[in-house]
Chains A and B, each alone.
Chain A
C-alpha cells in the first residue's frame, strides 16, 4: 500500500518532537477526521529555519508526510519554505495512495500555519500567506467532504 520511503519515514520519523519556546508553531487538521499535525519552528534572525519538529496524530501517511515536510523545510528561509508544496512532499515520498493525498495537503497547511504564527509574532507580512483556517485551537467546524 505504501512506498518504501513512506514506510521509512513512518517507522523512523525525522524531526519528531517539540521545540520549547518556538519561533512559530502551527496545528492543523482535526481529530474528527483522524489527522492532526503540529509543526514547530526555530527561526533565526536571518529568517532561516534552524530547527523544525513535528507531532502528528494520524495514519502512516500522515506521520510520513509530516516527517518529509520537516526535512524539506529545514535550513530553508521562510520564503523558500513557503514554496514547499504538498506535491513536493508527495514526490519526495515516491507517491501516496490516492486516499492519502489529503495527508500531504495537511503537511503543507501545517508548514503554512507555523509560518503564519512566526510572521504574526514578528509583524511580517507575506503575500499569499493567510491565517490557517482549520487550526484546532479555533472553533471546530463541521466540514463537508
Chain B
C-alpha cells in the first residue's frame, strides 16, 4: 500500500509558522516575559524589542514605524479600519465604498455600519474578479469618507488595481483602506506609491504566528481607539502587547520580504503548472480569477457537474488539503459570494476548488495532486445526474 501522503495546499487559509519564527518567539513566553509597560529595565527591554519589530514591518511597507499598530489579526484590523473611520468622519459624510468580493471581515462590518445609518456601495467586479475603475469613479459622492478595496482576493487570487484606486481616492480626498491579508508578503507594497491610508495584514498568512496582525494608519488620520484601556499602541489599541506574537510576526515579515522574489517565482511555476495541466487535461473546467493578475500561490478552478465538498473529502483521503467555495463548505446554502460576483452560475460555483501553494510544496507534489484531481473529478462525474444528462444531450 502506498504511504499516506500529506500535501498542504491551503496556504490562503493559514500557513505553518517557520522554525525560525517559533525560535525567535520562545524566549518571550518564559524568560523575557516582562510587560513592556512596566518601568524596570527587565520589562523595558521588551519595549525596545517591540520598537524594533515595528521598524521591520514599517520598512516592508515604506512607512514610519509609528504608523504600525499591532492587532490580534486581519479581522480586527479590518473591523477597526472601517468602524473607526466611520466614527471619526461621520460629520463629513456617511458613505463608504467597498466591493462585493471583500472578505467577510469587511462585508459583515459594513453591514453593521449600515445598521448605524451609513450607506455602503458594494462595487461589482468583472468576470476576472477585478474592480471596475469607472464604476468606482461614478460611485464617489461628496459624502464619501472611505474606499475599502482588498489588495488581492482570498478565494480567486485576483489582484486589484490598487495604485489606480489610490490615485482616485487621493484626487477626491477620500481615505483609502486596503485589506492586504492575502497580498502582504506575496507582492511588493509601498503605501506611499499606492496612496494607501490604511492597510490590514495578518501574521499567520506569511508563516508567522496566529493571533497577531497589524493595521497601518497613515499619520494625520484622526482614528480613535477601537479597544479601550491602557496606553498601549499610542493609546489607539489598548491591551498588554502580545510580545511573542509581535516578535514572531516581525521575524516572519523579515524572512518573507527577504525571500519574496525567489519564493513567489517558485510558487508561480507550481501555480501555472497546475492550472495549465488541469485545464488541458480535465474537460469542462474553468479558471476563476485573472490568469496573470493573480496571487503567486493561488489556483481556483471550477469543475462542472460536481460539488466541491465531495471533491475536498476525496482529496483529503489522498492526503491533500484544499478548499472550496461550495455552499457545503461555507455552512450556508449559497456558494461563495466571490464566485457569484464574477458571474458564475450557482451550480458551477458549487464545484470550485482552491489550491494555494506555499514554499514547502514541490513539483512532484503538483503531479500527484493533478493526477488525483483528474481521477476524483471523473469519479464524481460518473456519480452525477447532471453529467449524465449533459452527456446524453451531447451524444
A30-38, A42-50, A73-81, A87-95: which lies at the B interface? A30-38
Closest Cβ of chain B to A38, distance in Å, is: 4
Measured CB to CB, the residues of A under 8 A from B are 7, 10-11, 13, 16, 18, 27, 31-38, 55-63, 99, 145
Q: Is the CB of B307 within 8 A of A34?
A: yes
Q: Of A27, A33, A55, A59, which one neighbours B309 at CB under 8 angstroms?
A: A59
Answer whether A33 and B333 are a contact pair too, CB < 8 Å, given A13-B383, A16-B383, A18-B388.
yes
Q: Is B331 an interface residue (CB 8 A)?
A: yes
Q: Is the CB of A32 within 8 A of B383?
A: no
Residues of B within 8 A of A32 (CB): 346-347
Q: Is the CB of B305 within 8 A of A57?
A: yes
Q: Of A38, A60, A61, which one neighbours B385 at CB under 8 angstroms?
A: A38
Closest Cβ of chain B to A63, distance in Å, is: 6
In the complex, A18 Cα to B389 Cα: how many Å? 12
Q: Which B residue's beta carbon lies closest to that of A13?
A: B383
* Pairs A–B under 8 Å by Cβ, sample size 27: A10-B313, A11-B317, A16-B382, A18-B388, A31-B347, A31-B350, A33-B346, A34-B327, A34-B335, A34-B346, A34-B350, A38-B388, A55-B384, A57-B306, A57-B307, A57-B383, A57-B384, A57-B385, A57-B386, A58-B328, A59-B309, A59-B310, A60-B309, A60-B313, A61-B328, A62-B307, A63-B383
Measured CB to CB, the residues of B under 8 A from A are 305-307, 309-310, 313-314, 317, 326-328, 331, 333, 335, 346-347, 350, 382-388
Closest Cβ of chain A to B219, distance in Å, is: 47
In the complex, A89 Cα to B278 Cα: how many Å? 37
In the complex, A57 Cα to B309 Cα: how many Å? 11
Q: Which B residue's beta carbon lies closest to that of A27?
A: B385
Q: Which A residue's beta carbon lies closest to that of B349?
A: A34
Closest Cβ of chain A to B158, distance in Å, is: 24
